[in-house]
Amino acid sequence: MKLIIDTFGTDHGPESVCQGVMSALKKYDFYAILVGEKALVDRVAKDHGVSPDAYEVLETDHAISNHDDPARSIRRDPEASQVLGLERLNEGDADGFLSGGSTGALLAGGLFITKRIKGVDRAALTTTLPGKKGPFILLDAGANMDTSPDMVKQFALMGSSYAEVALGKANPRVGLLNVGAEPGKGDKRSKEAYELLQDAPINFVGNIESRDILENKADVIVTDGFAGNIVLKALEGTLSTVLTMLKEAVMSSTRSKIGGLLLKPALKKVMARFSTKDIGAAPLLGVQKSVFKMHGNSDAETVCVGIKNLIDYIDGGVTEKIRAKFIEEQDASV
Amino acid sequence: MKLIIDTFGTDHGPESVCQGVMSALKKYDFYAILVGEKALVDRVAKDHGVSPDAYEVLETDHAISNHDDPARSIRRDPEASQVLGLERLNEGDADGFLSGGSTGALLAGGLFITKRIKGVDRAALTTTLPGKKGPFILLDAGANMDTSPDMVKQFALMGSSYAEVALGKANPRVGLLNVGAEPGKGDKRSKEAYELLQDAPINFVGNIESRDILENKADVIVTDGFAGNIVLKALEGTLSTVLTMLKEAVMSSTRSKIGGLLLKPALKKVMARFSTKDIGAAPLLGVQKSVFKMHGNSDAETVCVGIKNLIDYIDGGVTEKIRAKFIEEQDASV
């Protein structure tokens, strides 16, 4: 298996990405094509004792950043790391691409360079979140605004195929994010999407209220990118606020510091269940190739986990599953 | 001041509501019109040593419930507590109405019986949430789906007038819930609403990401009822999950139980800042009278606080402020 990895774009810089790739080369069976500066890659490889036969470098010195216009840059900057990587992916000898850079650029590149699977109107970004009883998948996480009910259904088809592999669940339960649990709830889009999801070739379990989002009532939760992004960031924000306040309470007196120390192991154990440490990157679903996005704050360890996720995704044949799902769907609706 | 209070509709039952009203009668200066069963009201009044001169009873034995069709029931059930209360409010001798029953029925009753203020297309439900540095107001909390950008602007005008009184802030900062902080972000509705909010007679501070929702970057956050409800319930759900896990950690061993005990006072102090105990009820904004909704799980104490909120709202002349704001707005746009 050949994987292309963008060394640019993460907060920790290219060296950290290279370190993650070298760790992964020692753990997993793949050939790496690193997009970045050869001198740096070679140095990190040598430090890790990785043979030059295990990788090659697609030389460039920059990426499309979050401040650039994504669609414009993808078309006009052929030397950007994302463009080089995706073009190489399109040539067909590599199996997947991983980048921690601009989400917009990856999305635009996925659409313009890699192209969509037939029947897919919009590629979607997923996010894997920690539920009480294990991870679940939310999409669209913010790539697409003003989606139609049919696009939400497409997210469900894609998310279901992805969850089979990422969560290892046959026939994953798919829920629709909504303002109430009963059918007939929600805005126009949600009501129409509900109807479409009932007839789709997936295991649709109905509406999921955001109050229950961490309760694992569904393996995949689908929604428009606006609502998906809002709910995702509300979770992040609330968690971060509560943890800050907890720390503040612990640090406020000697008594509470001792309390915090005594409580720490138990808290750590409970929190461990509530973790996404096995998820380092997530796919851009609906494009013809395996394109993965890692978070901008990914460190070397996360890069290594992200590479494992990409390998599993390719091994699991998710792109082919999605392709088959859309053919099945189109046949059914004829 | 005369206040009408629906004794039906809360989870704790009419007796608990009556107890809250009696406590309020002893603390605040108002005359109570209780909608419910006279025998019960008289008994609770006697228990509390409240004179029969301090209140009257609008007799009925039922309310419109969450299972009834709100609009249909409002039109067809003249003896329902919500209909009796709102009709009495309309007669003009009372100043406000408070109910803990069906939100849909109160909303429908507000629209059909109390009627909207001129220029208001949709009445909105608000919710007051605990930010890190104090409470803030979110609207619409779920009453209106598929709102237009102009309706979102109307929510901003109403929310701003309400926040002046409820938060005691002159010129409250109004933010738009969105997927990014920069202008130009979001779905079509949000982009158009942003433009309208910039020209509105309010202190518009731009987009607020849901990640920052507890950071008090705005005093009032406006959005469509779908997104508002989603973000509200995501906050509730995340908080409840984290607190459950914290309790679980504390209870898991003797060591952690001692840790929990030592930490408790500090945690309580930190959590006290993060509280909405001064908020017992919230207004239906945009109707011609003062109509307040309390949560279904309100106990006697919350009812008492809710009555205080309603008194402050009436004393603060919020309805008149909103009326003036819409006249100002219409004059400006001519």
Q: Which residues, in sequence order, are CB contacts of A300 under 8 Å at separation 6+?
A: A12, A16, A17, A19, A20, A23
List CB contacts (< 8 A) between B127 and chain A: none
- Residues paired with residue B109 on neighbouring β-strands, in sequence order: none
pLDDT of residue B280: 85
Which chain B residue has its CA at the smallest distance from A67's CA? B182
List CB contacts (< 8 A) between B187 and chain A: 145-146, 224, 226
- What average pLDDT does this structure show over B250-276? 86
- Out of A98-102, A122-126, B200-204, B267-271, pick the least confident: B267-271
pLDDT of residue B301: 94
List alpha helices for B48-145, DSSP H: 70-76, 81-91, 103-109
Short-list B283, B281, B285, CA closest to B303 = B281
Cβ distance A186 to B226 less than 8 Å, yes or no, reads yes
Interface test with A, best of B262, B273, B274 (most A CBs within 10 A): B262
Minimal CA separation from B66 to chain A, in Å = 13
List CB contacts (< 8 A) between B215 and chain A: 237, 241
Q: In this structure, are residues B176 and B207 in contact, taking their beta carbons and an 8 Å threshold?
A: yes
pLDDT of residue A276: 66
Place of tokens 């109107």: A121
Cβ distance A246 to B267 less than 8 Å, yes or no, reads yes
pLDDT of residue B134: 86
Cβ distance B269 to A249 less than 8 Å, yes or no, reads yes
- What average pLDDT does this structure show over B37-64? 97
Cβ distance B230 to A177 less than 8 Å, yes or no, reads yes
Residue B275 reports pLDDT greater than 80:
no
Residue B272 reports pLDDT greater than 90:
no
pLDDT of residue B333: 67
Cβ distance B237 to A253 less than 8 Å, yes or no, reads no
Cβ distance A266 to B256 less than 8 Å, yes or no, reads yes
pLDDT of residue B14: 97
Band of pLDDT at residue B270, cut at 50, 70 and 90: confident
- What average pLDDT does this structure show over B235-256? 88
List CB contacts (< 8 A) between B130 and chain A: none
Using alpha carbons only, give the angle B127, B210, B235 rounded to the nearest 5 degrees. 55
Convert the pLDDT of each residue in B160-175 to its tens digit: 999 999 999 999 999 9
Task: Say how many Å lie between the first and final Cα of chain A, rounded.
Answer: 37
Which whole-number Å values give the CA distances from A57 to A18, A42, A80, A81, A88, in the listed order? 11, 9, 14, 11, 12
Which chain A residue has its CA at the smallest distance from B227's CA? A227
DSSP state of A50: -
List CB contacts (< 8 A) between B210 and chain A: 229-231, 233-234, 237
DSSP state of A214: T
Minimal CA separation from B207 to chain A, in Å = 12
Which chain A residue has its CA at the smallest distance from B67's CA? A182
Instruction: Give the burial string for B202-220 (b: 16+ CB within 10 Å, else e).
Output: bbbbbbbbbbbbbbebbbb
Convert the pLDDT of each residue in B219-234 to its tens digit: 999 999 999 999 999 9
Q: In this structure, are residues A157 and A333 in contact, taking their beta carbons and an 8 Å threshold?
A: no
pLDDT of residue B130: 86
pLDDT of residue B286: 96
Which chain A residue has its CA at the smallest distance from B251's CA? A266
pTM of the predicted model, to two decimals? Answer: 0.90
Q: What is the mean pLDDT of chain B?
A: 93
- What average pLDDT does this structure show over B43-55? 97
Cβ distance B225 to A266 less than 8 Å, yes or no, reads no
- pLDDT tens across the length of chain A (334 residues): 999 999 999 999 999 999 999 999 999 999 999 999 999 999 999 999 999 999 999 999 999 998 899 999 999 999 999 999 999 999 999 999 999 999 999 999 999 999 999 999 999 999 988 888 889 999 999 889 999 999 999 999 999 999 999 999 999 999 999 998 888 899 999 999 999 999 999 999 999 999 899 999 999 999 999 999 999 999 988 888 888 888 888 999 999 999 999 999 988 887 777 666 777 899 999 999 999 999 888 899 999 999 999 999 999 999 999 999 999 888 776 5
Cβ distance A255 to B236 less than 8 Å, yes or no, reads no
List CB contacts (< 8 A) between A239 and chain B: 238, 242
pLDDT of residue A295: 87
Q: Kind and range of the H or E element at B191?
A: helix B188-199
Cβ distance A269 to B249 less than 8 Å, yes or no, reads yes
Prediction ipTM score: 0.88
Band of pLDDT at residue B295, cut at 50, 70 and 90: confident
Query: How many C-beta atoms surround the C-beta of residue B278 within 10 A?
Result: 12
For the CA atoms of chain B, what is the radius of gyration?
21
Q: In this structure, are residues A35 and A58 in contact, taking their beta carbons and an 8 Å threshold?
A: yes
| Residue B101 to residue B86: CA distance in whole angstroms | 13
Band of pLDDT at residue B276, cut at 50, 70 and 90: low
Interface test with B, best of A256, A268, A269 (most B CBs within 10 A): A256
| Residue A307 to residue A290: CA distance in whole angstroms | 12
